Chain A
Amino acid sequence: MKLRRDVFQAIADPTRRTIISLVALQALTPTAIAENFDYSRQTISKHIQILTECEILEQEQKGREIYYHLNPNGMKEIAEFIEPFRKLWDDRFNKLESVMKNYQSKK
């Protein structure tokens, strides 16, 4: 239960969501992650630290470099609760949009 709450906190921040989507594509070093932002290296390090503490990111030592990759279990925690809820509303809103387009064309 504790883990899930932490995960929610982790994805509440837009910068952290961007980091998640970057790392989802490939494992990256902290430097490579920071290059995508205008923020200071320290700010990005802080976000990476939070994501690691929430077990969304995992560290891996490759030679002298540390790489971060997604922890599949951490991502599952997010997807399990937010995604079905989001999908439910997205389906509902798609329906609303098509009903109203139909209504509009009839007028």
Chain B
Amino acid sequence: MELKTNVIAEDGKQEILITRTFDLPVELLFKAYTESEIIEQWMGTKVLKFDFQKHGSFQFSTSDPKGNQIGFNGTIHDFTTNQKIIRTFEMENMPFGVQLEIYEFEKLSENTSRLKQNVIYQSVNHRDQNLKLPFKQGINWAHNRLEEILTKSK
């Protein structure tokens, strides 16, 4: 199945741009980022603290497959309802550094919207480490697409 998410990670830059179109009104898309019960559901994390206001902070805790608790935290730098959120995000006790996240929400129609998620890391090296993380963790990913390309190219 074609992925609806696009990822741009240009060589030598310390940022990643993630874009995605949703079959959701922009108000609902925005809500998914601002209400703790909803965040718990889609991010699969426990929300320990979530103070969604300018200069408010948040804390999440997620269990890894071995049952260890991994903490995350960040601060809401600024936001504009249904348009923009600027926040920091950090995985605790890990060498991945803190990241600046700029979310832009855009209404496409009554029932569709687009999210642009720009993530800026401390350095190019931190960016590359974060980019490789899902690969290293061996998350189930579609080999199908690559295999399809390779089969067709034979």
The 8 Å CB contact of B146, one of A5, A6, A83, A92, is A83
**Smallest CB separation, A69 vs chain B (Å):** 6
**In the complex the two chains form, is B141's CB within 8 Å of A81's CB?**
no
Are A87's CB and B22's CB within 8 A? no
Q: How large is the interface on A (under 10, 10 to 19, 20 to 34, 35 or more residues)?
A: 35 or more
Interface residues as binary, A74-94 with B (CB distance below 8 Å gives 1, 0 otherwise): 011001111111111110111
| Chain B positions within 8 Å of A24 at CB level | 149, 152-153
A104 CB-CB contact with B under 8 Å = yes
**A37 in the interface, Cβ–Cβ < 8 Å?**
no
Tell me if B's interface is mostly helix, strand, loop or mixed.
mixed
Name the residue of chain B whose CB is nearest to the CB of A87: B141
Which residues in B have their C-beta under 8 angstroms from that of A23? 153
Which secondary structure dominates where chain A touches chain B?
helix
Contact between B153 and A93 (Cβ–Cβ < 8 Å)? no
Measured between beta carbons, the chain A residues less than 8 angstroms from B41 are 95, 99
Question: Known contacts A80-B135, A84-B134, A88-B139; is A99 also within 8 Å of B150 by CB?
Answer: no
Binds A, one of B4-12, B82-90, B98-106: B4-12
Contact A99 B38 (CB under 8 A): yes
Whether A32 is near chain B, meaning CB under 8 Å from some CB there, is no
Stretch at the interface among B23-31, B59-67, B69-77: B23-31
- Residues from chain A with Cβ under 8 Å of B22 in the complex: 93, 96-97, 100
Given contacts A9-B11, A23-B153, A104-B28, 11 further A-B contacts (CB under 8 A): A9-B10, A12-B11, A83-B141, A83-B142, A84-B135, A86-B5, A94-B4, A97-B24, A100-B22, A101-B24, A104-B24
- Chain A residues proximal to chain B, CB less than 8 Å: 5-6, 8-9, 12, 23-27, 69-70, 72, 75-76, 79-90, 92-97, 99-101, 103-104
